[in-house]
Amino acid sequence: MTTKIKFLKTVTLIVALFLSAALCAQTGGKSNVKTVTGKPDAANVPSNARGLLKAGAAKVDITPTEQEVLAAKMLGIVDRIHARAIVVNNGITSAVLVSIDAGGVSSGLFDAVTKRAETELGIPPGNVIMNATHTHSAARIPNDKMIEYVYGIIKTAYGKMEPATMSWGTGVSYINVNRNIFDEERRTWWEGPNYDGQSDKTVAVVTFKNIKGDPIAVYYNYAMHAVAAGQLDMVCGDAPSATSNYIEDSYDDSVVALWSEGACGDQNPLFFQQTFDLRDIRIADYARRGEDISNRMPPGGTGLDRNNPRVAKLMNQQKEICQSMGQMLGEEVMHVMRTVKRSENSIRISSAQQVIKFPGRRQINAGNRAGYQGQYEDADSVSAELFYLQIENIALCAMGSEVYNQIAVHLKKDSPFARTIMVTVANGGSNTGYIPSDVAYGYQTFEVLSSRIKPGYAESGIVNGFLDLMDKTKY
């Protein structure tokens, strides 16, 4: 009898272990990562599941008509603007990378597009990173029309997926510069090229090729504001658009090239003198009329006399500078594409999100642009959502805010993944304003003065927040 009982217990234990192993295999051996927002979580897909890579890419011209541009009180079109997408799949789940020649990505746009992509294509919203190029010469496009544009290219790219490989490489480009400077002539903080300031020159490049070895898409990340054409008051994709167009043209439009917006809250183009010259002209013109605008610039090119030959020359040079920067950066991206040898054709995809909160502040002496001591009162807490997407060993860390460069450098230094990218102005708006690094809170610049976050919280909160998400989705 005792032997029979032992036999039954043994059988029961074997069955229990078998069922436990089956359940573990079904769930990837770990519990699902939960998100604060309640959005569908891509980490529901087993993060250790690997499959063969497929990739597809598409782009669409989103330039309004001349009549629509003029009706929006803009003065014309400098160049065509686009939305671009890459879709990747490993046979288990899909992920999407989107870049739009726009000033920002609204929450309404991101939510509407990701909801359709989930419903119609089965792509989890957490597996989407959608960034703007942050051009300061963006067209005014109705949200419903933009939703159709962006979802349309995702669907097209999804339909074009084919067996592919993915490679990673980095290059350097010196067309950006820190823009927070202590002006020795004014004896105050101002906006200008600070050659000694923090400025990451890295160009991160992710290339997708078909099995014949031909590039089909490239996703490149660089930290620089797209502001060279900001005073033209015309539709212009600025340097990001010029870079992508140059790369695509170099490959006879067989490649789709996506600009990924790096942490450029304090990064301007190095070649920006025309803008400073036009500011001086405008300040002098206003002063002759008895108005001082030296510390509070009107938007765009408001007040500039475009019939002035000097103004016209400088504005034409701004257009040329955009193209020149696009060529220089494009050449570096293609150099990386050509020289990287190692590639992957089997990948994992996982993602997670969380909302972090910071103590808030409200400025009570706002008015001027820079160079004065800000005064603040306590305000409601400020929140920011962190979006983490991992494609094999490439860690994509996205958020909607304009983030100072040092925070991305800090994140890359502490990340367990050598292939870490910070993507900003992405996945919906943010109410944080600019997010300065800890050290930058001592600067009296317009970005720091206007930030809604109290000093000492943002940098560590963002870095640790992303590190937590990496830990939760680790293989």
Q: pLDDT tens digits for 231-242?
A: 999 999 999 999
Percent of the chain with pLDDT over 70: 90
Q: What is the model's pLDDT at position 48?
A: 66
Dihedral of alpha carbons 366, 367, 371, 372, sign: negative
pLDDT band at 474 (very low <50, low <70, confident <90, very high): confident
Q: What is the model's pLDDT at position 268?
A: 98
**What is the average pLDDT across 259-287?**
96
d(CA 115, CA 110): 8
pLDDT band at 83 (very low <50, low <70, confident <90, very high): very high
pLDDT band at 204 (very low <50, low <70, confident <90, very high): very high
**Residues 6+ away with beta carbon under 8 Å from 86:** 55, 56, 57, 96, 97, 157, 208, 217, 219, 256, 258
Q: Does position 37 have pLDDT exceeding 60, yes or no?
A: no
**What is the average pLDDT across 467-474?**
94
Q: Residue 23: how many CB atoms within 10 A of its CB?
A: 10
Q: pLDDT tens digits for 128-160?
A: 999 999 999 999 999 999 999 999 999 999 999
- Candidate from 18-32, 47-61, 393-407 with smallest mean pLDDT: 18-32
pLDDT band at 195 (very low <50, low <70, confident <90, very high): very high
Mean of pLDDT over the chain: 90
Q: pLDDT tens digits for 173-192?
A: 999 999 999 988 878 898 99
d(CA 236, CA 441): 32
Q: What is the model's pLDDT at position 47?
A: 56
Domain ranges of the chain: 42-472
Q: What is the model's pLDDT at position 337?
A: 98
**What is the average pLDDT across 102-118?**
97
Question: Is the distance from CB of 429 to CB of 107 less than 8 angstroms?
Answer: yes
Question: Is the distance from CB of 104 to CB of 225 less than 8 angstroms?
Answer: no
Q: Which of 392, 383, 376, 391 is nearest to 462 (CA)?
A: 383
Longest dimension (CA), the chain: 109
**What is the average pLDDT across 204-224?**
98
Q: Does position 280 have pLDDT exceeding 70, yes or no?
A: yes
Q: Residue 7: how many CB atoms within 10 A of its CB?
A: 10
pLDDT band at 38 (very low <50, low <70, confident <90, very high): very low
Question: Is the distance from CB of 138 to CB of 232 less than 8 angstroms?
Answer: no
Number of H helices, E strands in the chain: 10, 18
- Candidate from 13-27, 210-224, 324-338, 399-413 with smallest mean pLDDT: 13-27
d(CA 367, CA 364): 9
Q: Does position 7 have pLDDT exceeding 50, yes or no?
A: no
Which tokens hold the place of 444? Answer: 């009296």
d(CA 279, CA 277): 5
Cα dihedral 292/293/298/304 (nearest 10): 80
Q: pLDDT tens digits for 398-457?
A: 999 999 999 999 999 999 999 999 999 999 978 898 999 999 999 999 999 999 999 999
pLDDT band at 12 (very low <50, low <70, confident <90, very high): very low
* Range list of β-strands (E), 184-266: 188-194, 202-210, 215-222, 256-261
d(CA 124, CA 126): 5
Q: Does position 245 have pLDDT exceeding 60, yes or no?
A: yes
d(CA 235, CA 75): 8
Q: Which residues pair with 218 in a beta bridge?
A: 207, 257
Q: How big, in percent rounded to 5, are the helix, strand and coil portions of the chain?
A: 35, 30, 35
d(CA 471, CA 475): 9
Cα dihedral 85/87/88/93 (nearest 10): 140
Cα dihedral 55/125/261/160 (nearest 10): 20
Q: What is the model's pLDDT at position 417?
A: 97
pLDDT band at 4 (very low <50, low <70, confident <90, very high): very low
| Distances 233 to 230, 236, 348 between C-alpha atoms, Å | 7, 9, 44
d(CA 248, CA 267): 25
Q: Does position 463 have pLDDT exceeding 50, yes or no?
A: yes
Q: Is the pTM of this model over 0.75?
A: yes
Q: What is the model's pLDDT at position 475?
A: 76
**What is the average pLDDT across 377-388?**
96
The H-or-E segment that residue 176 falls in is: strand 176-183
Q: Does position 104 have pLDDT exceeding 50, yes or no?
A: yes
Which tokens hold the place of 298? Answer: 């009107």
d(CA 30, CA 10): 27
Q: Does position 193 have pLDDT exceeding 70, yes or no?
A: yes
Q: Report the chain's terminal Cα–Cα distance, integer Å.
A: 47
Residue in this structure with the two tokens 């809604």, named with its chain if needed: 452
Question: Is the distance from CB of 271 to CB of 209 less than 8 angstroms?
Answer: no
The order of strands in the sheet holding 394-398 is 50-52, 346-363, 376-391, 394-398, 419-423
DSSP 48: T
Q: What is the model's pLDDT at position 34?
A: 33
